[in-house]
Chain A
Amino acid sequence: MKRLLLFGLTAAVVFGACVGPSRTDRDYRRKVANTAEAVISAVESARLTADLATAGRAPAPYVALRLSESEESAAAVETGFAAVQPPNRELDDLRTETLDAVGAATEVLARLRIAAYRGELHELREIALELEGPVGRLRDLTKVATS
């Protein structure tokens, strides 16, 4: 009995932390909103870093690290979301829309990272302006969970 209880607890802890497939429309929309919020976090973090770097308030190694991490975070979220299948055909468009917005943001984050590693810190703010479009689309997507 004790062993069974221990096994149950261990299984609950291990599997409780896993991301499962979406079984309902609501679940999937919640995942879309969470994905958008996570990518917005990475993007905003990168925008703030780019501003500080262009103003000469952050050193190159820190800027390069910060922008790499932002890109990695967004890419990891993108991969995680792409692996989840929508529960019905009606949500296929939402999936495409989400992946497009996340992909566009990740692409700009990659350009920011490349510029930082090349030491072109003065150009970062200008490149970061291109994040406006993807961020707007991502903000709209954060509302799909409640729509």
Chain B
Amino acid sequence: MKQILTIALGVLTAIGGFMDIGDLVTDALIGARFGLALVWVTVVAVIGITAYSEMCGRVAAVTQRTVFDLVRERLGPRVALFNIVGSYMVNALTLVAELCGVALAFELATNVNYMLWVPLVAVLAFLVVWRMPFEIMERLYGVLGLALFVFVVAVWQLGPDWGQMAHDVTHPTVPPGEGTPTYLFYALVMLGAQMTPYEVFFFSSGVVEHGWDRDKVGQIRVNNVLGYVIGGVLAIGIQATAYLVLQPRGIQVAHLSQTVLPVVTAFGQVGLALVIVGIFAAVFGSVLETLLASGYTVAHHFGWRWGKFERPVNAARFSTVILVTLLGAAGFALTTIDPIKITIYAVYLGVLTLPLTWLPILVIANDRRYMGAEVNGRLANAVGVVYLVLVTVAAVAALPLLIATKGGL
């Protein structure tokens, strides 16, 4: 029973890790604009992030060392430095988007401008990171984030034509009035939103910090597969509600308040209350994850003392990186930059950096000196190589598509 509960809580954490402001915005935006024509990207992304996370978790459990520590040792400090600079920048930009996301959730509930909430959210994140125990922190937002499943239930409530939906999912086409480059641009946006490396840095660091060893590899796999698959179902639910309510009316998503409109249509005020709780929990969880992941990447590379369990005074440099990142992100969020645009650009830049972390992990997971008997099997390698090619092609195509479509116009 205790084992089942532990796995269930781990799965909840993985679901919470999958769903963030990037997902919420892009799923609704894409559902409203392209219907269900990009659901296949979610399927591709779920398989990819599951494989990636499983490899990182297994590497961390077997070696008891973190990803960037191993990357520096295996590939040398220059490659590793390039790697962490890219990862840190994307992480920090994602943190800006997540801070704005939580503030926007407060704005939905109160109609008080989100900018006034940003400093409060930053203070709250600071207090939780410094004061709340790791496990409570992970599980609290995981459980509350389940409220977002109101999107999935709303699909039923809205009474769709299931046959038409199945057809649209299995026969994806570029909608009239949209160009193929724009379709591909948003396919990459979705990929970036759903294959976010920070989740994996956070997760693999947690494996080391919890002291999980090779006996826990099975549990890591179960957590990953179930958590990300359920997260993927949730993402498709958001796309489907936008497809059912927003697309027929020609509504393009430019605000978070529009993302929740289908749920309000289906369930009224109760639906809105649930969805706000869900958004707050999922996105605040992501604030904590991106914040800690920023500190982890830098501290692991330079070999500093690190960890949520460490008192700040004992891991001063790690804590300083986190604090400076939080202050910088909050400051950037307060520059009145459009929070939805920053979200789209953050997930898009994530696509550019995916190969930087994918390749080293694949190399290390294949190295018997580190992994011993837990080295990648044929399936893990086949998936790993296919996705390495995929994320590399995506990264190469990202910049030309951004320019050609003028940022998805």
Contacts and interface: CB of A to CB of B under 8 A. Distances in A.
Nearest to B273: A59
Interface string B348-362: 000000000000000
Contacts of A19: 406
Given A52-B268, A58-B272, A65-B257, A16 B402 contact: yes
For A17, A52, A56, the residue with the greatest tally of chain B CB atoms inside 10 Å of its CB is A17
B399 A52 contact: no
B324 interface: no
Given A62-B272, A65-B108, A45 B402 contact: no
Interface secondary structure of B, over-half rule: helix
Interface string B4-43: 0000000000000000000000000000000000000000
Interface in B392-409: 399, 402-403, 406-407, 409
A114 B249 CA distance: 24
Nearest to B114: A65
Interface in A38-78: 38, 40-41, 44-45, 47-49, 52, 55-59, 61-62, 64-66, 69, 73
Nearest to A20: B406
Of the four ranges (under 10, 10 to 19, 20 to 34, 35 or more), the interface on chain B belongs to: 20 to 34
B63 interface: no
Nearest to A36: B250
Interface of B: 107-111, 245, 249-252, 254-255, 257-258, 261, 264-265, 268-269, 272, 399, 402-403, 406-407, 409
14 contacts: A13-B402, A16-B407, A19-B406, A34-B409, A44-B249, A44-B251, A49-B261, A52-B268, A59-B269, A62-B108, A62-B111, A66-B255, A69-B255, A73-B255
Given A16-B407, A45-B258, A48-B251, 8 more contacts: A12-B403, A17-B406, A38-B252, A41-B254, A52-B265, A57-B269, A59-B269, A65-B111
